[in-house]
Structure formats: C-alpha cells, structure tokens
Structure 1
Amino acid sequence: MSRSGSETAAVIGAGITGITTAYNLARHGHDVTVFDRHPYAAMETSFANGGQLSASNAEVWNSWGTVLKGLKWMVSPGAPLLVNPRPSWHMLSWMAQFVAAIPRHEDNTITTARLAIEARGHLRRMAAEEGIDFDAENRGILHFYATRKEFEAAARVTALLAKGGLERRAVTPAEIRSIEPALQGETYGGLYTPSDFIGDIHKFTNGLALACARRGVAMRFSTEVLSAEADEPGVALVVRSTEPRLMAEAA
C-alpha cells in the first residue's frame, strides 16, 4: 500500500539509470520497487566503462560528417562503429530520423550540453548527500588533436558547448604535456574542460542502491520481469526468480 498522497512506481533494471531514477522518486515521497535479474546492482552495462562524467562530449552525432564516417566505416574492418547494411524497416526509419535531425545539430548540441551539466551536478549532489565514495578524480578532461583541421573542427564544437554553459579552453602542446605528462607524440593543440571528471560507475551505483534501500525502496534482486501490461489500476508485472536452485546432495 502506498503512503498517503504518494504514487507507486516499478523500476526495471538496477543500473545507473534505474537506480538514480528510483532514488529521486523515493526522495519525492513515492513508493518504489526496483527489479533486476542479477543478485546485485550494476552487474551489466554499469559494471564497468570509461568512467567519464564529461559534458565536453555532449555534441550530438547528427551531422553530415558522421554520415560520411559511417559510410567509410562500413568497409573498414577496424572501424570503431559498424552498421549492418542489411535493410529493414526499423533501420531505414531510424536512418531517416537521424538524417532529419541534422538541421537541428546546433540547437540539439546546446541543449544536450545543458542537460549534461545539470546531470553532473545531480550526481555530485547525490554522492555528497549519501556519502558515496566512487573514486572521483577531479582533474578535468583533455582532448588533443594531431592536425590543425581536427583542432579547428573541435573548436567549432567548443563554441556550441559554450552556448550551453560549458567552459572548455584551448591549450598549447606545452600545456598538454603539463596536464598529462605521460602523453607521447606530436600534437597540434588541445581542448581542456576543467569541470569534467571521472569516477567508478559500479561503486557509485552500488552506493546509491544502498541509499535507496535506506530510503525504503524495495530492492527485488534476482527477479526477472517477463512482461508488463497496463490494466485499470495501473501496470501488472509478470516476474520470475533467477536464483539458482540448490540441489541437495545425495546421501
């Protein structure tokens, strides 16, 4: 039964997105239940990644430059991103929407930068309020470029990020070596964002999951959601346990 004046909510998935959602719903007085098929939080995508909390990467991908890169990558075996050329209605409609958004590249990048800055602030607030140590390193994030063409293209993006409220400044090769002495090789120039930082997503998500439990969130681990159907009172979930069955040893 929900508390007076509150709503009940089910959050499916105990990764960074699900746990932050559950935490903020609980802070606003809602009754929340989190479902995850694993025995602990953050056991899939949020188990490990690059750890960047970087608003400086807020540029959206919808541009003709990305389209050209995608076409080149389709025939490159070592490409960082591959697109399956087999046509399907889903892929064709997705590509059409991708191209249709290209004229809004500037506005969408500015909006995304604002959202990224806000998200960073919320993450810091949650970590401070709940005393979560997630190995944050507040050293900023450096982007460096080998050619003038690459640097000037990134500088144009910097102007858009500035409209979204992000400070990112140009640095010389000498400043690059000062910021990151381990970096080897020749560089034309770089861009440095002092407000960006890094941290351990697994430790943060687990720490926030514990905070959710303290705030009364029901944590249904080892529980897989098989289906969700809307009905008159709300949404009905069909779930099953994923706990391994223990076999008794034969006498």
Structure 2
Amino acid sequence: MSDQSRPYRTAAVIPAAGRGVRLGPGAPKALRALSGTPMLIHAVRAMAASRAVSLVVVVAPPEGAPEVKNLLDAHALPERTDYLVVPGGESRQESVRLGLDALPDDVDCVLVHDAARPLVPVDTVDAVVEAVRDGALAVVPALPLADTVKRVEPRPAGEPEPVVATPERALLRAVQTPQGFDRETLLRAHETVTEDVTDDASMVEQLGLQVVVVPGHEEAFKVTRPLDLVLAEAVLARRRANDGF
C-alpha cells in the first residue's frame, strides 16, 4: 500500500516508570488508585477513548513490566485499541525513547502522555491529533495562567528570593499532555537533543522547529501531590453523576 493510500495512524506513548516521590511512599505514582482503579488505567483509557488512537504503548518500571501487563489485562479497555508494555529506562527521556522504539513502522503521529494526567478529556486528545494531521510538527495543549508569575534569583531553601522580573502573563501558557508529534520529527529530536530537556516539545524547539499550542482543559491537571488526588476523585464523582462515567 502506498503512503498516499494507507490510513493515517496515531499511537500514544505513556511513560509510567517513575516513582512519584511527591505523593509519598508506596506504589509508583502511576499505579496509585483513583476511585479504586490505578491512575495508569485511567490514562490509558483516556488515550484509547480517541478513535484516532489505535495503539497505546505503556513504558513500565524496568523491573515491573510483567506486573503492568497483568494490570492492563485485568481491566476493560476499548477493543479497537491495541496496547503494548515495554520496560522503561532511568530517565523519562530514555523511557519515551524506548516507547518510540516499540512503535510499528506505519505510525505517523505520536502522542506522549503523562500517566499522572489520568483525566484528560477526549476532545483535547482529538484536538492535538488533528493539529498534527493538519501539518504541525509538534503540538501541546495548554491553558492561560490564572496567577501572576515572578522570575526570581534562587536562594538556599527557606531564604527570601529577590524578584528579578514579572513576565507578561498574557504571553505565558501552562503546558499539559498529550503532546503530539510528527513521528520522524520526534525521533530526530530524541536522537539529537540530550540536554536541557523539560518535555518532548522542548526537544523539538531545540531543533529550531516550531511547536504550536492548542487549547488545553482544566481537568487535564497533573496528579502530583495528595491534594491533587482529592481533586481527581471529585472530578470522577462529578463525571459519574453527570455522565454515568
């Protein structure tokens, strides 16, 4: 089948190899329960909810791939979406690269999604995929900032930090995931960029290529601290009440 006639295929990579120390001791963050279901399962379902996503690759803790595979097997996932589990690396960047290495050759668009963002709505996922399909090399969902931001001169912990500048808030965005990429562009970024990596989009920026923003969603927040778990439980309770989710 020629490139022109074959279907456009999208896959999602979910790096879930981190420990999540800010949530305290216990299971890795991605395996913490949210309304009785591990956050990772919520994140996989969020990606699979998009009809554009035909494959989800979960990058597990290096020694925990069998456990994560069993976990996915035990939970209902959309039948139209396949999934793979691969062992991760020592860093998030290495884990994403291992996920990319597991993708079939016919994948055109790659989504990279945080397992700790379990509640991203499907409309946000679809908006990212559509922007990549329309020609963007790298796409991030993002929200305007509600708070004023200060740039400071760092000091040792506990010491007052002098304010250096107040960036114009209207020009700033808080970035979420899934971040979407033209597959070859993301592969090139991972082969080229090794320093100053804050997210995958920043790697593409370092190649001198344009990253574009689409509207994010307030429910795509990152579950990092115990208070975030309380908020996530509240969102799920509202969804169940309103939508039977």
TM score, norm. by length of structure 1: 0.25
Instruction: Please tell me whether Structure 1 or Structure 2 has the larger radius of gyration of its CA atoms.
Output: 1
TM score, norm. by length of structure 2: 0.25
Structure with the bigger percentage of helix: 1
Q: Which has the higher relative contact order, 1 or 2, with Cα contacts under 8 A spaced 6 or more apart?
A: 1
